[in-house]
């Protein structure tokens, strides 16, 4: 019997070793959090022969500066690696210099964001080194992939201007060297089945959509099993913050007025914001004064009850300055002062520094708050998105926007700036040009929440799904037969 156990041990060890040596795709993520984590986890889960090395999503500035040295010591040498896939946080140039064995691999460099146009609070705060490292990494990489056309073009067309920051001996023609390596491959979103979280009016709306089935739409609730069609959600319309609802109205009003006064003095001119999104000279949308086209549903008692429920607004972004929370809260507090009826859920991750506006706004918004803070459980997160009516972005920086895509997938009506990546992702109907336009749209929706609850989204979600993009990523992570590794 002992020889059988010994043979079993040998076979197990051999199988384990064989499994490890088959790991031909080396995934490196220096900032393992948010969309960066989602992507490499998805690749490792659905594409065979991957091995993943990561650093926690903390202090990205230090990750960009020092991650190469960490991975030089951490990644074991292997003759079986064929592909190296890394995000643009990593200084790829340093890594391949420190590890010549990795420099021989087919190197794929993926941009979630680029540092050439990433907004900083003050011009003098921009660190030349971050953008410079990304340019060098592109020169070293074999393939450079961007998550949107906006991300790619904003990076490539900014190289020349960026290099002029050098005092002398400026390199030339870098864009021409890098552009042939570049391609756009949208961030792949693996849409979960959220049908069990959907309120009945959203389920009914999708079921009654002409041609919804068989049109390539990845929505899992377009064709639901009959036992799921009448499922109700888990009571998220109830306010879990009952103590907040019982707050003294006078104190709340005073706090709202004080914060509103401070927000009123925030910059709103194009020069101050350095953003075309907030151009005051832009004309208002002609359609913002009238309800958008909606489907016709018979008014049932349940629908009349839904019409009386306050509009539920969700803001699911990182709590950082580049997402411009000040503009978002300025609009909400104006709505609060006008006694418009709405609820708000403010989600998203927080990091070391949280802008003070969040704590002040929570106090001022008081009983309008339904949910506040990051939800680590994906189920809880999608429950809130499914119960919401409108999803808002006020970003001054966005190269893709996973949170907005996920919210629209959950049948939220999107309102986004008419700038950055958003015109590439959403039809014009869902874009606004000024904070005044955003306020007016939300004002109309507060008065008639049935407008958005009956609305059928006019864009296309399938192009962002993992089902549609999986084959392209598999092709990206293969070696050509002619390559001699």
Tens of pLDDT, residue by residue, the chain (485 residues): 555 555 544 444 444 344 444 569 999 999 999 899 999 999 999 999 999 999 999 888 999 999 999 999 999 999 999 999 999 999 999 999 999 999 999 999 999 999 998 766 555 455 899 999 999 999 999 999 999 999 999 999 999 999 999 999 999 999 999 999 999 999 999 999 999 999 999 998 877 654 443 333 344 333 333 333 333 333 333 333 334 334 444 444 455 555 555 555 544 333 343 343 333 333 333 333 333 333 333 445 555 555 679 999 999 999 998 999 999 999 999 999 999 999 999 999 888 789 999 999 999 999 999 999 999 899 999 999 999 999 999 999 899 999 999 999 999 999 999 999 999 999 999 999 999 999 999 999 999 999 999 999 999 999 999 999 999 999 999 876 445 44
Would 14 be classed as within a structural domain? no
- Asked if residue 428 and residue 341 are part of one domain, the reply reads yes
DSSP 287: G
- Asked if residue 150 and residue 41 are part of one domain, the reply reads yes
pLDDT for the residue numbered 262: 52
pLDDT for the residue numbered 352: 78
pLDDT for the residue numbered 50: 97
Instruction: Provide the residue range defining the domain that includes 119.
Output: 19-189+468-476
Would 429 be classed as within a structural domain? yes
CATH code (residue 441): 3.40.50.2000
Would 269 be classed as within a structural domain? yes
Q: Residue 290 burial (CB < 10 Å; 0-12/13-18/19+)?
A: exposed
Q: Residue 246 burial (CB < 10 Å; 0-12/13-18/19+)?
A: exposed
Compute the distance between CA of residue 479 and CA of residue 485 in angstroms, rounded to an integer: 9
- Asked if residue 305 and residue 261 are part of one domain, the reply reads yes
Q: Residue 414 burial (CB < 10 Å; 0-12/13-18/19+)?
A: buried
- Asked if residue 284 and residue 242 are part of one domain, the reply reads yes
- Asked if residue 397 and residue 340 are part of one domain, the reply reads yes
- Asked if residue 406 and residue 393 are part of one domain, the reply reads yes
Would 32 be classed as within a structural domain? yes
pLDDT for the residue numbered 223: 32
Would 484 be classed as within a structural domain? no
Check if the beta carbon of residue 59 is closer than 8 Å to that of residue 32.
no
Would 6 be classed as within a structural domain? no
- Asked if residue 450 and residue 372 are part of one domain, the reply reads yes
- Asked if residue 240 and residue 105 are part of one domain, the reply reads no
Would 171 be classed as within a structural domain? yes
Number of structural domains found in the chain: 2
- Asked if residue 238 and residue 319 are part of one domain, the reply reads yes
pLDDT for the residue numbered 308: 73
Closest-CA residue to 269 (of 256, 280, 255, 254): 280
**Could you write out the DSSP letters of every residue in 194-247?**
-GGG--HHHHHHHHTSTT-TTSS---GGGS--HHHHT----STTS-S-HHHHTS
pLDDT for the residue numbered 327: 97
Would 395 be classed as within a structural domain? yes
- Asked if residue 231 and residue 125 are part of one domain, the reply reads no
- Asked if residue 214 and residue 171 are part of one domain, the reply reads no
- Asked if residue 419 and residue 275 are part of one domain, the reply reads yes
pLDDT for the residue numbered 242: 39
């Amino acid at each position: 019997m002992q020889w059988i156990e010994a043979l079993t041990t040998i076979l197990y060890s051999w199988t384990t070793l064989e499994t490890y040596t088959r790991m031909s795709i080396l995934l490196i993520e220096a900032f393992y959090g948010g969309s960066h984590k989602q992507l490499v986890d998805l690749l490792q889960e659905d594409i065979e022969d991957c091995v993943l090395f990561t650093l926690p999503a903390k202090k990205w500035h230090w990750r960009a500066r020092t991650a190469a040295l960490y991975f030089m010591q951490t990644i074991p040498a292997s003759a079986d690696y064929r592909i190296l896939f890394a995000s643009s946080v990593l200084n790829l140039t340093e890594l391949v210099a420190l590890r010549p064995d990795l420099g021989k691999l087919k190197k794929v460099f993926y941009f979630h964001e680029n540092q050439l146009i990433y907004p900083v609070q003050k011009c003098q705060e921009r660190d030349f080194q971050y953008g410079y490292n990304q340019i060098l990494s592109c020169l070293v990489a074999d393939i450079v992939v961007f998550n949107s056309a906006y991300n790619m073009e904003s990076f490539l067309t900014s190289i020349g201007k960026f290099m002029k920051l050098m005092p002398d001996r400026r390199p030339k023609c870098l864009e021409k060297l890098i552009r042939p390596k570049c391609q756009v491959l949208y961030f792949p979103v693996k849409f979960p089945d959220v049908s069990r979280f959907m309120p009945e009016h959203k389920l009914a709306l999708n079921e009654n959509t002409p041609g919804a089935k068989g049109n390539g739409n990845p929505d899992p609730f377009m064709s639901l099993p009959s036992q799921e069609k009448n499922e109700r959600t888990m009571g998220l319309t109830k306010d879990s913050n009952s103590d907040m609802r019982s707050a003294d109205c006078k104190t709340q009003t005073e706090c709202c007025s004080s914060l509103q006064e401070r927000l009123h003095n925030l910059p709103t001119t194009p020069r101050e914001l350095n953003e075309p999104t907030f151009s005051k000279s832009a004309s208002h949308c002609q359609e913002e004064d009238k309800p958008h086209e909606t489907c016709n549903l018979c008014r049932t008692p349940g629908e009349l009850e839904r019409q009386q429920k306050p509009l539920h607004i969700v803001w699911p972004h990182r709590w950082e300055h580049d997402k411009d929370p000040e503009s978002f809260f300025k609009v909400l507090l104006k709505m609060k002062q006008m006694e418009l009826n709405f609820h708000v859920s403010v989600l998203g991750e927080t990091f070391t520094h949280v802008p003070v506006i969040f704590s002040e706004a929570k106090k001022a918004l008081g009983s309008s708050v339904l949910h506040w803070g990051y939800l680590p459980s994906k189920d809880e997160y999608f429950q809130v998105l499914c119960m919401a009516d409108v999803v808002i972005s006020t970003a001054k920086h966005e190269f893709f926007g996973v949170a907005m895509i996920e919210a629209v997938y959950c049948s939220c009506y999107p309102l986004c700036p008419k700038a950055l990546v958003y015109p590439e992702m959403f039809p014009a109907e869902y874009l606004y040009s000024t904070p005044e336009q955003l306020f007016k749209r939300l004002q109309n929706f507060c008065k008639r929440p049935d407008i958005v609850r009956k609305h059928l989204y006019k864009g296309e979600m399938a192009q962002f799904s993992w089902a549609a993009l999986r084959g392209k990523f598999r092709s990206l992570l293969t070696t050509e037969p002619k390559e001699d590794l």
